[in-house]
Structures are given as structure tokens and as C-alpha cells.
A and B are shown apart, each in its own frame.
Chain A
Amino acid sequence: MREDQNKTPENKQQQLHITSYKEHFSTLAALLLLTVITVAISVFGADLRSLSVFTALLIATVKVIVVAYYFMHLKYDTKIYTWLVLIVVVLFVSFTVLTSIEYLNR
């Protein structure tokens, strides 16, 4: 097996980035904080309950972005991964929007 790398522009070996332990720990702290918030709103936030689905999904989405951006290394990877993820998200959201249009107008 040869170890040589491709030399076409897109295939340039990107710089290696090592995420520090500290950054990982801060990420976890942020995620735990968001978890506490979402549970608190759901259990104690009587006034906010009408917003419950919306806020719960919003907080979940923020958490997902944090996981993808830091833990899954999107922050340091080539931008193509971020674009691909965005395309997939747009696609899935479009599915749900089109389906919602159908059901909300029944």
C-alpha cells in the first residue's frame, strides 16, 4: 500500500487541528446547561407551556448545532462538510414543511 496523497487542489491535506480537552469540557458544560433549561421550562415553566414544543425544539436544535460544530469537528473541517450538512437539513426541513402544508389544510 502506498501512502502518497492526491495532489489535486481539493484534496490538499488539511491542517491537523487538535481540539483541547478544555474546549471539549466547555462544550459539555454548555450542553448540560441547555438540558437543564429545557427540562426546567417543561416541568416548572407553567407560563411558558404554550410555547413548549417550539422552545423545546429550538433548544434541541441549539444543542445539536453545538455537538456538530465542536464535538463533530465541523468547526475545523473543510467547509464542504458544513455545506453538505446544511443541504441535508434543508432537504429534511422541506419534507416536513411540504407535509405540514398538506396536513394543515386538510
Chain B
Amino acid sequence: MEHTAGFSLPNSGHNRDAEASKMGMWLFLFTELLLFGGLFIVYMVYRSLNPEAFLLASFELDVTLGTFNTVVLLVSSMTIAMSITAIQKGNSKLSIQLLVVTLVAATVFLIVKYFEWSSKIHHGLFPGQELYASLPPGESLFFFLYFFMTGLHALHIIIGGIIIGVVVYRTRKGLISSEKYTLTENAGLYWHLVDLIWIYLFPLFYLIH
């Protein structure tokens, strides 16, 4: 910049532009949606080709745990939305508290997921395991998709958790305030996306009857 001392453009890419960051985040969310979208297409095709097998296989999943996790995620979505309200009103302390609640919810979600997965793996339903290989046509696809989609979703939860952790850290440092809270907003958008995907995953895997 020092080389153009006399002149500078009004519209510089190096300016802080909250709207641009938000737009970038939305565009990124679109790519995430289509990433899962590809999997939903696979799910749709295989379920329509093997309806009975999908039904039978879905009985292995625990509706209670699934519902519990859904509620956990919905609550966490609200707390992170509220934390944006808090920071907008200048209440950093409340904002941090709400973010921490969100993080706790994320952890609870992952713990429940861990128990669900380990009971399936214990039964030998993970791709490559013995029981998996002997499953009738269609059921193995159900379990592959179950592990792949919920696994990818859990990965997003972990990434979202890390982002929220960064937001907490920066808010505590005073780098995020009622003047400048783009990061909180973007973390919120990302977290809601994780929620959106789960809203579809839940009925498609747990509620087949």
C-alpha cells in the first residue's frame, strides 16, 4: 500500500466489510448443503430401490436417542442465536455464557452419538465388519449411509464447536463487540446449517415406519 501513497480507491478489498463476510459464509453454506445433497440423492435412490430393507434396518436405531439429540441441537441453535442478540446489545458476558451452553449441547450431542455408534459397531454393523458383510441386500447400504452421513454430520459438529470456541476466545479478549460481531454471526450461520442437516437426517434414518 505504501507505494501508492497519493491515491487510494474507495472500494478496497482490504477494507473490513461485514456484509461481504456474511455473503461469503452463505455461499459456503450452499456448498455444504450440496455436499450433503449428493448423499441425500444416494439415499433417495437406494431407499426407493430397497424400501423393505431400509425399513428393517432402521429398527436398529433408537428413536428415543435420536429425538433427544434433535432437541439438544434445536436448543443449541436457539442459544447461539440468542448469543448474537446479546453481543448486539453489548452484553459480552451473556453472549459468552450462551456460546458455552451451545458448546455443552454440542458435546452432549457427540456423546450420545458416540454411544449410538459404539453399540452398532459392537453388533458388527460397521462397513467391513463381519455382520455387515452378511447383511441382506439394501440393509448394508442403509448402514453405510447411516455411518457416512451421521459421521460427516458429526465432523461438522466438531468443526462448528471449534469455531464457537474461537468466538468465545475472541469475545473474551474483547475482539468481538457490539461494533464488530461478524464472526459470531457467521459461527451462528454455520451452526444453524448443522442443525438444518440434522433436521432431515433425523426423520430419514430414525423415523422410517
Q: Answer yes or no: A and B touching, Cβ < 8 Å.
A: yes
The residues of A with any CB-CB pair to B shorter than 8 Å are 1-8, 11, 13-14, 16, 18-21, 24-25, 27-28, 31-32, 35, 38-39, 42-43, 49, 52-53, 56-57, 59-60, 63-64, 67-68, 70-73, 81, 84-85, 88, 92, 95-96, 99-100, 103-104
With contact pairs A2-B15, A60-B203, A72-B189 given, residues A52 and B48 touching in the complex (Cβ less than 8 Å): no
Interface residues of B in 1-47 (CB under 8 A from A): 8, 10-12, 14-17, 19, 23, 26-27, 30, 33-34, 37, 40-41, 44-45
Across-interface contacts of B204 in A (CB, < 8 A): 56
Across-interface contacts of B49 in A (CB, < 8 A): 103
Are A56 and B203 neighbours in the complex by a CB distance under 8 Å? yes
Task: Name the distance in Å between B191's Cβ and chain A's nearest Cβ.
Answer: 9
Task: List the one stretch of B63-71, B101-109, B130-138, B167-175 in contact with chain A.
Answer: B63-71
> DSSP majority for the B interface?
helix
Residue of B8, B30, B40, B74 with most partner-chain A CB within 10 A: B74
Within the complex, which residue of A32, A35, A81, A96 is in contact with B41, where a contact is CB–CB below 8 Å? Answer: A96
With contact pairs A84-B26, A88-B34 given, residues A28 and B203 touching in the complex (Cβ less than 8 Å): no
The residues of B with any CB-CB pair to A shorter than 8 Å are 8, 10-12, 14-17, 19, 23, 26-27, 30, 33-34, 37, 40-41, 44-45, 48-49, 63, 67, 70-71, 74-75, 77-78, 81-82, 84-85, 88-89, 185, 188-189, 192, 195-196, 199-200, 202-204, 207-209
